[in-house]
Each structure stands twice: as C-alpha cells, then as structure tokens.
C-alpha cells in the first residue's frame, strides 16, 4: 500500500484548521499538521505576489488522493489552491500501521 503527504496552503489558520478537521473526521487523512505563518512568493495572473499563509501537511493513502482533492476544493476559498502530493517512501512500521488504521478501510 502506498502512502502520500499532501501539501496545501491557506490564507488563514481558521481555514487550515477547518479543512484539516474535515479531512480527519471523514478519515480521508490520518493526520494534518498545520504550520504557519509562512511567507509565500509566487506569480499569479502575471504579477509577483507575497502572502502570509498556513501550510498543511496531510498524511493519507495514495488511493484516497482524489477524495482529498475534491474535499479541499469544496472547502478552500482560493480559486486555485495548492494541492500537491509527495510519496512517503519510508516510515516506521508502527507509524505506518497507525496511519493505515486511522484512514477509511481499504477496499478489498
């Protein structure tokens, strides 16, 4: 089974916490860490922007990514939210077992 960490940013801590709570309550994420405030520099609609944001690190199964993406897009106020996933290539046996148990049951 493959696990991923999805990264997402929001404008406010309240937005980050609301999305994080929803993902964990729905068992789409085992854990969401909210970090911030961070500064993001990016190009948007032809201009270089600087924003204060909050970073969410979302732990889930790769097969749940479409559900996580849909939930984030539904709850997120940004026109184009950052939603990117990186593979978790290794982890302690105990942590990965906990992660697996905290998520929606795997389809058999």
Domains and CATH numbers, the chain: 3-102 (3.30.70.120)
CA distance 86 to 30: 16
CA distance 32 to 58: 4
> What would the two tokens of residue 17 be?
């916490």
Look at the pTM and tell me if it is higher than 0.85: yes
Please say whether the beta carbons of 16 and 56 come within 8 A: yes
Q: pLDDT by residue for the chain (108 residues), tens digit each?
A: 799 999 999 999 999 999 999 999 999 999 999 998 999 999 999 999 999 999 999 999 999 999 999 999 999 999 999 999 999 999 999 999 999 999 988 775
Query: How far apart, in Å, do the first and last CA atoms of the chain sit?
Result: 12
């Amino acid at each position: 089974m493959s696990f991923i960490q999805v990264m997402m940013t929001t404008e406010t801590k309240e937005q980050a916490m609301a999305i994080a709570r929803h993902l964990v309550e729905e068992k789409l994420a085992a854990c969401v860490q909210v970090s911030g405030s961070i500064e993001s520099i990016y190009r948007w609609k032809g201009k270089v922007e600087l924003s204060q944001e909050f970073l969410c690190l979302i732990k889930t199964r790769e097969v749940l990514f479409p559900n996580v993406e849909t939930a984030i897009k539904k709850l997120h106020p940004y026109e184009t939210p950052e939603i990117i996933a990186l593979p978790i290539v290794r982890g302690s046996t105990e942590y990965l077992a906990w992660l697996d148990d905290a998520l929606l049951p795997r389809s058999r």
